[in-house]
Each structure stands twice: as C-alpha cells, then as structure tokens.
C-alpha cells in the first residue's frame, strides 16, 4: 500500500526475494494511478488490483466511476485479478466489464466489527457466486477465538466447490489467517514485513511461511 507507483515498483522488487504467490496492489493508498502499466511490467508475480473505498474500509475518496475506472485500467494492463466489493453498485455489470478486459474477479465482503453467523456467511457466499465471482472472499473480524473456528469450519465446508478465501481480521483472528489454507482456503494474506500491514492481524510473509513449515503445510 505505497503512496506512488515508483514506491510500489521498488517494494515489488524487494518482495520478489520471498517468492510470493500473489501480490495485492492497493491503489486506494496511491495519490495517482497513472502508471499502472509500469507496476505490471516491474514483476512477473501474479498481481491483484484493489481500490477500496472509504466506506468499505479502504482509503479511496472520490467519484465511484473513477474508482472503478482504475480497476478497469488494471485489468487492461494485465493484472491477474481485480478485487471488487460485493456491495459495489451495479456489481454484476462491473464484473462482466472487468472480465471482458481480461482479468479474473475476486468478489469480496469485509465486516470490520464482527463475524456473522454461519447462515449469514452462506448467504454472502451465494450472493458473491451469483454476482459472477471467480474467487469468493469473506473476511470478518474476530471478537473471540471461537470466531476463527466459525470461519474455518465454513471454509472447510465450502472450499471443495468454490475458490474461497475466508478468515478473520484483528489480533484474535491471526489463527484463521494462518490456518485458512490448511482448511481449503484458496490463499491467505500476509504483509511484506513488520510495519507494512494493510489490515489488522496481518503477519509478515516470512513468519507465515515459517509457521506453515512447522505445521508440515509446505
């Protein structure tokens, strides 16, 4: 989540030594998104373009057509994935437009205060699938360690039929971030290093990999 394309390119080149499977580029942290193609050409890593609005917990403030326009630019610049919030206006038509531009779409839901019931998680997943998601993403907030279990159980039940990312944010949600791939999660998120977190509860990629190695998951 760098402030410019130049800083993003520098960060990408430093990150490549860790051989990440995916790198999320947070355009809502940038002052300008005019150099999207430079970011894409700076690495062979698979890239996710995200431009999260303020109301969805991100940093973008401005017209919705400009927010979506940046994501369309990223799709045309050969970003591998675009993350689009489930609550985006005209989400279905925007997803179809992004796919026509050659990208795959992660439809995401974020809850910054709690973890809904399993029934509500199921409703959210169904909505994401109906919208046309290539990958469904459901991220909640853990207010207890039991919330991790709810997300992991839900993930284990549905990951066989759906490319699903599901875990909890927050200090109490670290366990689900780490364990979600073991329960069928399509991927999980880690920070590039200490101090580079883009969401509460992220741990560095080096620590995530070390834990997975200890668990025999690599």
* Among 122, 140, 172, 165, CA closest to 57: 140
Contact 211, 197 (CB under 8 A): no
Spot the catalytic one: 7, 137, 158, 212: 137
Contact 2, 25 (CB under 8 A): no
171 labelled catalytic: no
Spot the catalytic one: 110, 120, 158, 186: 110
CA distance 2 to 42: 15
Spell out the residues 6+ positions from residue 55 whose beta carbon is closer than 8 angstroms to its own: none
137 labelled catalytic: yes
Contact 165, 135 (CB under 8 A): yes
Output the CA–CA distances (angstroms, integers) from residue 8 to 53, 72, 169, 183, in the order listed. Answer: 19, 19, 24, 32
Q: Write the Ramachandran bin of 13: left for phi over 0, alpha for psi from -120 to 50, otherwise beta.
A: alpha
> Hey, which residues are catalytic here?
110, 137
């Amino acid at each position: 989540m760098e402030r410019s394309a130049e800083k993003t390119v520098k960060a990408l080149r430093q990150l490549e030594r860790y051989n990440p499977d995916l790198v999320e580029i947070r355009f809502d942290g940038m002052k300008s998104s005019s150099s999207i193609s430079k970011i894409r050409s700076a690495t062979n890593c698979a890239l996710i373009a995200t431009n999260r609005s303020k109301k969805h917990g991100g940093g973008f403030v401005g017209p919705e057509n400009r927010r979506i326009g940046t994501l369309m630019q990223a799709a045309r610049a050969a970003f591998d994935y675009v993350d689009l919030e489930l609550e985006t206006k005209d989400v279905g038509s925007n997803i179809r437009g992004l796919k026509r531009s050659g990208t795959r779409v992660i439809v995401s839901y974020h809850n910054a205060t709690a973890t809904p019931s399993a029934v509500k998680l199921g409703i959210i997943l169904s909505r994401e699938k109906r919208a046309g998601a290539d990958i469904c993403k459901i991220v909640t907030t853990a207010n207890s360690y039991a919330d991790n279990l709810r997300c992991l159980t839900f993930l284990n039940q549905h990951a066989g039929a759906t490319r699903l990312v599901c875990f909890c944010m927050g200090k109490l949600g670290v366990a689900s971030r780490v364990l979600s791939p073991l329960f069928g999660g399509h991927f999980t998120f880690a920070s590039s290093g200490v101090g580079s977190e883009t969401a509460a509860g992220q741990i560095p990629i080096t620590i995530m990999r070390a834990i997975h190695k200890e668990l025999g998951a690599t």
